[in-house]
């Protein structure tokens, strides 16, 4: 395998010229990782990779590879080896002691791996069999899928989408550093696909010293808007950071969601204090553990605060309403080094005459405008208007138009 010293990597993400006083928060582990091959090294690496055994990545693994390459998963430099994997599953930390809650792994089978042994290199390909990265295979090891499911997802139920994805994996995991030759060739949301170094530069240019991130895989409704604006009262800026990687088939498509975000920001948010960018991650639906993971990733993008709402990254009834809040108690503020902002269930209260939460409103449910995702889908399918207390009219129009197609 070609040299993996610093000269082999793309220097376009260097923060060397950025005034450290304007960097809102250090990356997780202190250094923003960059695993993109430099232009000078790329051709040589690609020629070498043509002689390596090939392993094809699925959509989630390709998303993980992209985030490793750009530093979104700092300090990871590749897919996890056994020590990191075991420590993360059992203790929610990397082997070096840093907090980490989601295994970032590359699975394979004995048949797919062929005769590859530890110490050799493999070429990683996309679904079109194009080589996108070279990986030094440091470890090949077996793992217990059921144990991982129980500890990471708190269930072994195959109806859980994250557990189902885990059970579809191969029986082996391979760990080792990667050098990435090609990122996914995205054709959507191009103006919003900012790498961690780029969001950090953008925050510095705006003179934002404190930035709150909001994770979402849904349209932003009035309840989300309320908690975002509450958070904006105590920071310099908001990064609306929707996840656009692989999600469940019944989640609202990313293209529809992005149109909702655009019309909402245009009409109801101050342009000089908000920024929209996308997160290429795949959803795990790991609830509490994914809340910590989402916070760490946003720390790498340069955010100092992170909003944790009700049932963060949840699915079905696998997690308690506020389990994603409680898990933060298992880490010290110093080791996470990003400030979580916890918000209760929010809604429009007719008697209060505005947005409120269970912490601030004394009135009963009969006065609250709350719609489930199922109810929203039913109303859209029936061509009914969503109440203005639930969502802005512009957002409702986007959802109605897209649902009618």
Residues 175, 202: one domain? no
Is residue 54 within a helix (H) or strand (E), and if so which, with residue range? strand 53-56
Q: Band of the pLDDT at 20, cuts 50, 70, 90?
A: very low
**pLDDT tens across 222-252, in order?**
999 999 999 999 999 999 999 999 888 878 8
- CA 273, CA 228: separation in Å to the nearest integer? 12
**pLDDT tens across 144-201, in order?**
999 999 999 999 999 999 999 999 999 999 999 999 999 999 999 999 999 999 999 9
Residues 112, 242: one domain? no
Residues 27, 171: one domain? yes
With respect to residue 1, please indicate whether it lies within any of the assigned structural domains.
no
Residues 157, 15: one domain? yes
Q: Which of 35, 193, 217, 392 is catalytic?
A: 217
Query: Could you say which DSSP state residue 152 is in?
Result: I
Q: Give every CB contact of residue 205 below 8 A, 6+ residues apart in sequence.
A: none
> Per the structure, how many domains does the chain have?
2
Residues 172, 213: one domain? no
Res 11 pLDDT > 80 = no
Do the Cβ atoms of 71 and 199 come closer than 8 Å? no
pLDDT at position 13 is: 46
One DSSP character per residue, 339-394 reads EEEE---EEEETTTTEEEETTT--S-GGGEE---HHHHHHHHHTTPPPPTTTS-HH
pLDDT at position 8 is: 57
Residues 175, 195: one domain? no
For all residues of the chain together, what is the average pLDDT?
92
249, 360, 389, 390 from 393: Cα distances, Å = 26, 26, 10, 9
Residues 174, 207: one domain? no
With respect to residue 185, please indicate whether it lies within any of the assigned structural domains.
no
Q: Which of 60, 206, 218, 397 is catalytic?
A: 218
Residues 171, 44: one domain? yes
Full residue range of the structural domain in which residue 78 is found: 6-180
First to last CA, the chain: 50
Res 375 pLDDT > 90 = no
Q: Is 257 a catalytic residue?
A: no
With respect to residue 91, please indicate whether it lies within any of the assigned structural domains.
yes
CATH number at residue 368: 3.40.50.620
**pLDDT tens across 175-191, in order?**
999 999 999 999 999 99
Q: Is 273 a catalytic residue?
A: no
Query: Could you say which DSSP state residue 252 is in?
Result: P
**pLDDT tens across 277-296, in order?**
999 999 999 999 999 999 99
Residues 25, 47: one domain? yes
pLDDT cut 90: percent of the chain above it: 83
Least confident of 37-51, 346-360, 373-387: 373-387
3, 79, 120, 123, 133 from 51: Cα distances, Å = 16, 21, 12, 9, 13
Residues 203, 176: one domain? no
Q: Which of 162, 180, 198 is the C-terminal boundary of a domain?
A: 180
């Amino acid at each position: 395998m070609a040299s993996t010293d610093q000269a082999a990597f793309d220097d376009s993400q260097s923060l060397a010229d950025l005034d450290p006083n304007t960097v809102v928060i250090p990356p997780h582990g202190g250094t923003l990782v960059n695993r993109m091959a430099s232009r000078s090294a790329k051709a040589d690496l690609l020629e070498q990779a043509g002689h390596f055994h090939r392993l094809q990545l699925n959509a989630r693994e390709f998303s993980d590879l992209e985030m490793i390459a750009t530093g979104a998963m700092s300090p990871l430099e590749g897919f996890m080896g056994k020590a990191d994997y075991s420590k993360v599953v059992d203790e929610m930390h990397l082997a070096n002691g840093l907090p980490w809650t989601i295994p970032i792994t590359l699975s394979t089978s004995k048949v797919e791996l062929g005769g590859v042994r530890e110490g050799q290199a493999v070429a990683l390909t996309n679904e079109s069999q194009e080589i996108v990265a070279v990986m030094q295979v440091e470890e090949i090891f077996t793992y217990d899928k059921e144990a991982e499911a129980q500890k990471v997802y708190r269930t072994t139920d195959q109806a859980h989408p994250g557990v189902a994805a885990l059970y579809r994996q191969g029986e082996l995991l391979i760990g080792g550093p990667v050098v990435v030759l090609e990122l996914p060739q995205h054709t959507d949301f191009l103006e919003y696909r900012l790498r961690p170094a780029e969001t950090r530069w953008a925050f510095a240019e705006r003179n934002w010293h404190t930035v709150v991130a909001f994770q979402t895989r849904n349209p932003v409704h009035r309840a989300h808007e309320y908690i975002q604006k509450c958070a904006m009262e105590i920071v310099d800026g908001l990064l609306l950071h929707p996840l656009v990687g692989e999600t469940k088939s019944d989640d609202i498509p990313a293209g529809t969601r992005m149109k909702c975000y655009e019309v909402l920001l245009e009409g109801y948010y101050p342009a000089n204090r908000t920024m929209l960018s996308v997160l290429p991650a795949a959803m795990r639906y790991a609830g509490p553990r994914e809340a910590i993971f989402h916070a760490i990733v946003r720390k790498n993008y340069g955010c100092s605060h992170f909003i944790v709402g009700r049932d963060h990254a949840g699915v079905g009834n696998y997690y308690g309403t506020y389990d994603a809040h409680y898990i933060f108690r298992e880490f010290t503020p110093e080791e996470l080094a990003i400030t979580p902002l916890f918000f209760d269930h929010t809604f429009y209260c007719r008697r209060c005459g505005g947005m409120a939460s269970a912490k601030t409103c004394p009135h009963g449910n009969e006065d609250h405008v709350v719609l489930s995702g199922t109810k929203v889908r039913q109303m859209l399918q029936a061509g009914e208007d969503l109440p203005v207390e639930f969502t802005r009219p512009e957002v409702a129009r986007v959802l109605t138009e897209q649902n009618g197609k």
